[in-house]
């Protein structure tokens, strides 16, 4: 972690996770310009430190470079110990992604280890970063998984539709269970049995 300027900020901390030379750098520069103390996080600390120097010099702001590996929960925890030591995190931007080592031409060519790594960085990493800022407050554990299933269905539909293969993601928005229990819930809470949702193409 490096302190890149000495002037105090009147605002909270803006933590930008996944800072590269394009979008992440632009986002960090914008928040520094708006008066935030900025923490920029990525795997390559050397390049990150150069970005921090650049932003601090141009925007006269406090910028901290902190290394993070978003696929590793321990690395995320340690990184955010550094971020939170700076003060209250008012803004958290998650821009991390896992670049593919090779670009498959079809779904069948996609390697499972690449798929797992992409999920670990893009989704699980975001989960860990958010939890470091909010604490484990619970939530719907199945919601994210089902949303990922919808996204996968859309990708498969796009690739295989030209071959005449129909892929659909159907949501049944309602309760599923024994009829007696459903009747009780319907009478006492006025929850409808079934209302069919949408099909994702």
Q: Please give the residue range of the domain that contains residue 186.
A: 141-201
Provide the angle, in degrees to the nearest 10, between the axes of the packed helices 23-33 and 45-59.
Answer: 40
pLDDT digits (tens, 9 = 90+) for 104-154: 668 888 888 888 888 899 889 998 999 898 765 555 666 777 788 888 888
Let me know whether 73 and 157 are in one domain: no
Share the mean pLDDT of the chain. Answer: 80
User: Quick check: helix, strand or coil at residue 126?
Assistant: helix
* Helix (H) or strand (E) segment spanning residue 115: helix 112-119
Q: Which residues contact 162 (CB under 8 A, 6 or more apart)?
A: none
pLDDT digits (tens, 9 = 90+) for 167-184: 887 776 666 666 665 555
Residue 47 Cα to chain centre, angstroms? 22
Let me know whether 158 and 100 are in one domain: no
Let me know whether 148 and 165 are in one domain: yes
CA dihedral sign, ordered 68, 70, 73, 77: positive
* Global confidence as pTM: 0.72
User: How many domains, the chain?
Assistant: 2
Residue 120 Cα to chain centre, angstroms? 10
Let me know whether 94 and 192 are in one domain: no
């Amino acid at each position: 972690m490096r302190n890149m300027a000495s002037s105090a900020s009147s605002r909270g901390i803006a933590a930008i996770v996944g800072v590269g030379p394009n979008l992440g750098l632009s986002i960090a520069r914008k928040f520094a310009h708006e008066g935030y103390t900025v923490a920029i996080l990525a795997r390559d600390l050397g390049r990150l430190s150069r970005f921090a120097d650049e932003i601090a010099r141009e925007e006269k702001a406090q910028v901290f470079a902190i290394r993070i590996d978003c696929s590793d929960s321990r690395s995320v925890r340690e990184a955010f110990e550094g971020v939170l030591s700076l003060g209250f995190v008012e803004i958290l931007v998650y821009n991390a992604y896992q670049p593919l080592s090779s670009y498959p031409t079809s779904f069948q060519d996609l390697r499972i280890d690449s798929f797992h790594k992409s999920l670990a960085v893009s989704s699980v990493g975001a989960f860990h970063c958010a939890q470091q800022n909010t604490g484990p407050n619970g939530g719907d554990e199945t919601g994210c998984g089902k949303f990922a299933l919808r996204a996968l269905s859309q990708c498969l539909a796009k690739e295989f539709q030209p071959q005449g293969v129909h892929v659909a993601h159907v949501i049944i928005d309602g309760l599923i269970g024994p009829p007696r229990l459903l009747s009780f819930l319907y009478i006492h809470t006025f929850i409808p049995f079934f209302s069919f949702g949408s099909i994702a193409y």
